[in-house]
Chains A and B, each alone.
Chain A
Amino acid sequence: MRLHNISFNNLRRRKSKLAFLIVGLTIGIATIVTLVTLTKSMSGDIERKMDEFGANILITPQQNGLAMNYGGINLGGVSFDQKEILESDLSRISTIKNGKNISAVAPKVLGGVRVAGRQVMLVGVLFDKELKLKQWWKIFGEAPKGAGELLLGSDAARVLNVMTGDPLVLKGERFRVTGVLDQTGSQDDSLVFAQLGVAQRLLGKQGRINLVEVAALCSGCPIGDMVLQIAEKLPDAKVSAIQQVVEGRLKALDQFRRFSWAMAGVVVFIGSLIVFVTMMGSVNERTTEIGVFRAIGFRKSHIMRIILLEAAVVGLLAGLLGYWTGMGGAWLALPFMAEGKLVALAWDPLVAFGSLGLSLGLALVASLYPALQASRMDPTEALRAL
């Protein structure tokens, strides 16, 4: 018979109380595990979605050209009549240290052309990359697939009086408009989009491009690092982060994380309160018993050890149960949260050990005051009979 036998026997023979304590704490821990795991599992997915939603790095030629605005974004020294980046240089972008974080590289060549007596801006793009980058585009018709096809912004289509399926002549070459963009509110509305190679040929800029928009996944890599890495690979280009986009995304993610932690905090507080109230009740219930312990010579520290050991057992069991219940909850909730997409459940040993440690810590902290109260109990008061 040692002190731990008293704790274990008490827990073993007061199963309903043990179950109540464990359930209370398990709910708290499980909620944390579910929220943290969901946040971890989803944040990658959310980051990816957010990062794919438009560019966050801009590559322009190093020059002192005139300022120009593109899509509400200041393009700095871009000038479509001056220097260009070589298309062959683009392959170097993917060789940067954080190359795996690059989601899309969308090169563009820009130039003015006359169409039906009007000056319009022709933009050569790689449509598959551009569509990945601009997921908000809504096309009436379809994106061009062949060389003889064009996509028009809504204003361009209106001014040039063409619709999907109509022909359009650029620099004496006949094209077919396969799609018209729904109004975007950006400069895209007034542009004429063609395949990159076609635009380069029409504008006389074969193998050259004016700017590159890059969508980089922020996960695990500060965008600033990637900007430096790309700049090293392309010394003749000016590489800049679109700060407002980057900051906006980080802030949104941060808010999502904060919300999860706040939720978890509330549940943990309630869980701790359950442990505190139950342990306090248990101590009050065991007044006589504690009086007996003190009368037969148990020190205050012995009483505290008995109570805290019980709390530790409850904490460990609740931690284990809470972890597995929480992971189960996350597994069940993930398909709904991830909108049916296959997102892998994040198995993190830190969450496993963290939940166990948290549960143990909470149980001990919540039981500290009841244990102190128990140890300070006056044996004569506790026994009354004496």
Chain B
Amino acid sequence: MSLIKVRDLAKSYRSGDETVEALRGVDIRIAQGEFITIMGQSGSGKSTLLSVLGGLNRPSRGTVEMAGIDLYALSGERLADFRSERLGFVFQSFNLIPYLTALENVMLPLAIRRMKGKQKIAAAREALSRVGLGAKADRLPNALSGGEQERVAIARAVVNRPHILLADEPTGNLDSKTSREMMDLFRALNQAGQTVVMVTHNPENCDYSDRTIQLKDGLVVAQG
């Protein structure tokens, strides 16, 4: 049973006078609990695919079905609700909010949830513990190392227990040792049942995943 079904996905956009076809008819299926890496050269369309999967980028053609819901049949605000309830994002440059502590950053997705404050704090502390950063909950991002910031970003992405964790080049800004630690963390989360879809250009990262989707010029050229 596929958690994600992508059918005939195409995305084109204007760049000056040119029309760039970032995706040109992508068909993929991702099962519950899978760890998928998406590889491809720069401009292959991998980041565009991730943003479309994340409900952030309306495709020009095709459908994205997630847990039986046609994502882009939802209105803009319902799509936002869907992201809040079902998806978790880890961005390449972590994108932590600089004026919030690690704990507050992790609690961010819960800020719009109807939950008691204590429950939110408990959930955020638990997420921080899962990424091994429980002791630095009260630090601001600028008082954390790159790896620690990445851990906070991962904790923020999983605090709402999403169906899918989407990560865009999460090791792109890290040294190789920290990168391996992060990939171990992603793997551990996956082994705990978390579906992970990760865009990467580092072939070593593919060793951690169940499956790699190769993209070239907006088309899937290899899977498996």
Using CB atoms and an 8 Å cutoff, list the residues of chain A in contact with chain B. 1-3, 5-6, 9-10, 12-14, 288-289, 291-302, 379-380, 383, 385-386
A-contacting residues, B126-143, CB 8 Å: 140
From the candidates B84, B91, B124, name the one contacting A297 in the complex (CB within 8 A): B84
Task: Evaluate contact between B47 and A386: CB separation under 8 angstroms.
Answer: yes
B18: A residues at CB distance < 8 A? none
CB distance from B22 to the nearest CB of A (A): 11
Q: Is B183 an interface residue (CB 8 A)?
A: no
* A1-B110, A386-B51 known; A299 vs B92 contact (CB < 8 Å): no
From the candidates A9, A295, A301, name the one contacting B56 in the complex (CB within 8 A): A295
Task: Evaluate contact between B99 and A386: CB separation under 8 angstroms.
Answer: no
Task: Evaluate contact between B89 and A296: CB separation under 8 angstroms.
Answer: yes
List the 4 shortest-distance A-B pairs measured between CB atoms, nearest first: A297-B84, A13-B99, A1-B107, A297-B83
CB distance from A185 to the nearest CB of B (A): 73
Task: Evaluate contact between A1 and B111: CB separation under 8 angstroms.
Answer: yes
Q: Is B74 an interface residue (CB 8 A)?
A: no
Which of B85, B92, B95, B109 is the most central at the interface, judged by chain A CB atoms within 10 Å of its CB?
A: B95
29 contacts across the A-B interface (CB closer than 8 A): A1-B104, A1-B108, A1-B124, A3-B111, A5-B111, A6-B97, A6-B100, A9-B99, A10-B99, A13-B99, A13-B140, A289-B95, A289-B97, A292-B91, A294-B56, A295-B83, A296-B89, A296-B108, A297-B80, A297-B81, A297-B83, A297-B87, A298-B112, A299-B77, A299-B80, A300-B76, A380-B56, A383-B56, A386-B50
Which of A1, A6, A300 is the most central at the interface, judged by chain B CB atoms within 10 Å of its CB?
A: A1
CB distance from A92 to the nearest CB of B (A): 73
Tell me the bound Cα distance from A225 to B112 in angstroms: 61
CB distance from A117 to the nearest CB of B (A): 98
CB distance from A125 to the nearest CB of B (A): 77
Q: Is B223 an interface residue (CB 8 A)?
A: no
B81: A residues at CB distance < 8 A? 297, 299
B56: A residues at CB distance < 8 A? 294-295, 379-380, 383, 386
Chain A residue with minimal CB distance to B13?
A380
Instruction: Name the prevailing secondary structure of the A interface residues.
Output: helix
Q: Is B2 an interface residue (CB 8 A)?
A: no
Q: Is B120 an interface residue (CB 8 A)?
A: yes
| Other A-B pairs beyond A1-B108, A299-B77, 11, CB < 8 Å | A1-B104, A1-B111, A5-B104, A9-B99, A288-B95, A289-B95, A295-B54, A296-B84, A298-B111, A383-B95, A386-B47
Chain B residue with minimal CB distance to A1?
B107
Count, chain B residues at interface, CB 8 A = 40
Tell me the bound Cα distance from A267 to B217 in angstroms: 57
B47: A residues at CB distance < 8 A? 385-386
* A1-B104, A297-B83, A299-B81 known; A380 vs B97 contact (CB < 8 Å): no
Task: Evaluate contact between B112 and A9: CB separation under 8 angstroms.
Answer: no
A6: B residues at CB distance < 8 A? 97, 100, 108, 111
Tell me the bound Cα distance from A289 to B47 in angstroms: 19
A3: B residues at CB distance < 8 A? 111-112
* A1-B111, A385-B47, A386-B56 known; A296 vs B100 contact (CB < 8 Å): no
Task: Evaluate contact between B109 and A386: CB separation under 8 angstroms.
Answer: no
Chain B residue with minimal CB distance to A295?
B89
Task: Evaluate contact between A298 and B99: CB separation under 8 angstroms.
Answer: no
From the candidates A10, A297, A298, name the one contacting B85 in the complex (CB within 8 A): A297
Tell me the bound Cα distance from A300 to B117 in angstroms: 23
Q: Is B150 an interface residue (CB 8 A)?
A: no
A289: B residues at CB distance < 8 A? 95, 97
Task: Evaluate contact between A386 and B111: CB separation under 8 angstroms.
Answer: no
Q: Is B156 an interface residue (CB 8 A)?
A: yes
Tell me the bound Cα distance from A386 to B117 in angstroms: 31
Task: Evaluate contact between A296 and B99: CB separation under 8 angstroms.
Answer: no
Task: Evaluate contact between A9 and B84: CB separation under 8 angstroms.
Answer: no
From the candidates B51, B84, B100, name the one contacting A298 in the complex (CB within 8 A): B84
* A1-B117, A3-B112 known; A298 vs B80 contact (CB < 8 Å): yes
Chain A residue with minimal CB distance to B109?
A296
B121: A residues at CB distance < 8 A? 1
B168: A residues at CB distance < 8 A? 385-386
Q: Is B93 an interface residue (CB 8 A)?
A: yes
B83: A residues at CB distance < 8 A? 295-297
Chain A residue with minimal CB distance to B87?
A297
Chain B residue with minimal CB distance to A288?
B95
Tell me the bound Cα distance from A293 to B87 in angstroms: 13
Tell me the bound Cα distance from A167 to B76 in angstroms: 101
Tell me the bound Cα distance from A97 to B81 in angstroms: 68
Q: Is B57 an interface residue (CB 8 A)?
A: yes
Chain A residue with minimal CB distance to B77?
A299
CB distance from A301 to the nearest CB of B (A): 8
Interface string of B46-63 (1 = CB under 8 A from A): 010011001011000000
Tell me the bound Cα distance from A342 to B27 in angstroms: 86
B169: A residues at CB distance < 8 A? 385
CB distance from B119 to the nearest CB of A (A): 11
Task: Evaluate contact between B54 and A386: CB separation under 8 angstroms.
Answer: yes
Chain A residue with minimal CB distance to B107?
A1
CB distance from A133 to the nearest CB of B (A): 68
Task: Evaluate contact between B95 and A12: CB separation under 8 angstroms.
Answer: no
CB distance from A303 to the nearest CB of B (A): 10
